[in-house]
Amino acid sequence: MRSRTEPGSLTTRLLISQIAVSIAMALTMVVVAAIAGPSLFEAHMHEAGQASPGVLAHSEEAFRTAGLISLAIGMVIAITGTIVVSVLIARRLKRSLTQLGDAAARISEGDYALRVAEGDSRELATLANSFNTMAGRLATVEGTRRRLLTDLAHEIRTPLASMEICVESLEDGAIQPGPEAWQILASQIDRIARLADDLGQVSAAEEGRLNLVTRPTDPNQLAETAVLAARDGFERKHVRLDLHPHPGDGLLVSADSARVGQVLGNLLSNALRHTPAGGLVTLSVADAGGSVHLTVSDNGEGIAPEHVPHIFERFYRADSARDREHGGTGVGLAISQAIAKAHSGGLTVTSQGLGTGTAVTLHLPPATTT
């Protein structure tokens, strides 16, 4: 079996190539001078009136000797300078590339906090910045993955613990088999099933496996349907729900009505959960030119600035103390964002801080007319 040969050093190849080019240039100069120099020198001597063979021979010999000595000295200086400059450049390039290689190896081992210094040239600086950006994104992904696994384990462990307690109580005779016990078990099973379904929806949306059926749709109709579906919950909590449709006619979006209804329902549910009795939630429709905005705004709890960038992450909760049994599985906004992106749109959230309310906007592309 043929053994794999190690590739040569880039800096060594660069140095050798620079020296080779310098030698080739010097030899070219020598050959050109040897061929063209004597004839040109003789022609100039004839023009100057020096036609004596002895004088011409002596002058040509002096010219040739002086030229060769000058060329030799110039070649030595040029090659020496080329070697020195090439060595310096090659060493600096090798140092930068070695630093990047070592950093890449350490990042592959899990040291995502490592960053490299910018190089002393524009290209190396761009490479270092790109590398640091990649390392930062890997660190973010790794942090999200760890938090996801931790939260997923918690989400599964909690209902399983409740079921275990219920079963032990049944075995010990603390509670009797009956509707109460079955209700406890059924509710926890439903919670695990809901979590699995939500995670499946997020994965399907993010991987482009959602079966969307998009068609030109009136956004006012989408908003009205969502408000009608959510009205009872708002009335029970005594929170006012207003609809502000787009005043014009002919505004259409390219959307899957069921999926967009799911997003709006989730946004209204979140707004209701974080708005106290007597508060106000508004669903408004606006034409933003390049897209159509459906905005759910409330005057409820608001979101602290440090939490805003993470709102659409799976399992992320700005209020970590909120009861997960009553706060959902924590992936509703992640599902909504994935559905919005599957429509070539997106979700954005704005809040001025705690106690100032929140506005979440669904961006949808306008329907193309043919």
User: Coil, strand, or helix at residue 4?
Assistant: coil
Structure tokens at 360: 């979440």
pLDDT score recorded for residue 321: 44
Percentage of residues of the chain with pLDDT beyond 70: 77
Residues 6 or more apart whose Cβ sits within 8 Å of residue 99 = 116, 117
**Phi, psi torsion values for 108, nearest 5 degrees:** -65, -20
Structure tokens at 176: 């009797």
pLDDT above 60 (res 320): no
User: Coil, strand, or helix at residue 8?
Assistant: coil
State whether the Cα torsion 47-51-55-60 is positive or negative.
positive
Which residue type, as a one-letter code, is found at position 131?
A: F
State whether the Cα torsion 12-13-17-23 is positive or negative.
positive
pLDDT above 80 (res 6): no
* Mean residue pLDDT across the chain: 78
Residues 6 or more apart whose Cβ sits within 8 Å of residue 166 = 175, 181, 184, 185, 188
Rounded to whole angstroms, how far apart are CA atoms 107 and 247?
54
Residue written as tokens 């964002």? Answer: 337
176-186 pLDDT per residue, tens: 787 877 887 88
Structure tokens at 67: 């030229």
pLDDT above 60 (res 106): yes
191-249 pLDDT per residue, tens: 787 777 767 766 666 666 667 788 999 999 999 999 998 888 899 999 999 999 998 77
- CB-side neighbour CA atoms (13 Å) of 65: 6
Rounded to whole angstroms, how far apart are CA atoms 312 and 10?
45
Structure tokens at 226: 């969502």
Between CA 358 and CA 229, with CA 254 as vertex, the angle to 5 degrees is 50
Structure tokens at 345: 């749109």
pTM of the predicted model as reported, rounded to 2 decimal places: 0.54
pLDDT band for position 322 (50/70/90)?
very low
Percentage of residues of the chain with pLDDT beyond 90: 14
State whether the Cα torsion 150-156-157-158 is positive or negative.
positive
Question: Which of the two residues, 124 and 292, has the higher pLDDT score?
Answer: 292
The full 3-state SS of 292-343, as one line of letters, equals EEEEEEECCCCCCHHHHHHCCCCCCCCCCCCCCCCCCCCCHHHHHHHHHHHC
pLDDT score recorded for residue 283: 94
pLDDT score recorded for residue 280: 93
